Amino acid sequence: MVAPNLTRETAAQRSAILTVENYLIELDLTDGKDAPGEETFSSKTTVTFTATAGASSFIDIVAARVHSAVLNGTALDVSGYDESTGMGFWAVEVKTTGEFLGWFHLRPGDGHETTEPELGYRLRRSAWGQGYATEGGRALIDKAFAQLGVRRVLAETMTVHTASRRVMERCGLRLVREFHADWPDRIPGDEHGDVEYAIDREEWELQRPSPR
């Protein structure tokens, strides 16, 4: 799902769903435990919270890989967070300052095979309108076809998210369907439904610049 950021109203609705009681973050800054030579380190985050029964929410994370996730003692599927597949999440930073602007993801969406990954992103409001979404989207689409051998890349957003839809179009994706997703949480605008954009390998190859 492409969503540049949460609106204040949506954030307020989600905050009403749960109450966070505590964050416990454990960091292992030694090099070599899990991936010798990589510029990464291990961490474990425990979030203690209470939530409305039947509601759903999410936790944003940017990491090279996620080893495991457990909710109330039940292991969750984290197969879409393994960078060894070439897919996963990427942080967006300003090269000159290292300022964190948000993240992109390229990973199989619900009900789709690994050959049909979904493109998505979330950017800070200060990064909107500066071309980061288009630049990052095009780079991941090129990576998907040129390096990962996928056959199709898709992206979804709400019908009313015109800015996100323009980004998809600038990335070369085309509108393929309109639908109403069965979201557990209602947010303003979802009554108008959702849209799916996509590009397949043949379309991507036609859009590539001709070699000189």
Closest CA to 14 of 209, 184, 178: 184
Count H helices and E strands in the chain, helices first. 4, 10
pTM of the model: 0.67
CATH number, domain of 154, equals: 3.40.630.30
Residue 180 lies in a domain: yes
What is the spatial distance between Cα 156 and Cα 197, in angstroms, rounded to a whole number?
6
From residue 31, how far is each of 28, 41, 82, 146 by CA, in Å?
8, 7, 19, 32
Structural domain containing residue 187: 8-207
Strand partners, 27: 43
Write the single-letter amino acid at 79.
S
Strand partners, 123: 102
pLDDT one digit per residue (tens) for the chain, 212 residues: 444 445 555 566 667 778 889 989 888 877 655 555 556 678 889 999 888 876 666 676 666 677 888 888 888 777 666 666 788 888 888 888 888 888 899 988 777 788 999 999 999 888 999 999 999 999 999 999 999 999 999 999 999 999 999 999 999 999 999 998 876 667 778 888 999 999 999 999 998 876 65
Residue 2 lies in a domain: no
Give the chain's domain count.
Answer: 1
Residue 57 near residue 19, CB atoms below 8 Å: no
Which helix (H) or strand (E) segment holds residue 10: the answer is helix 8-17
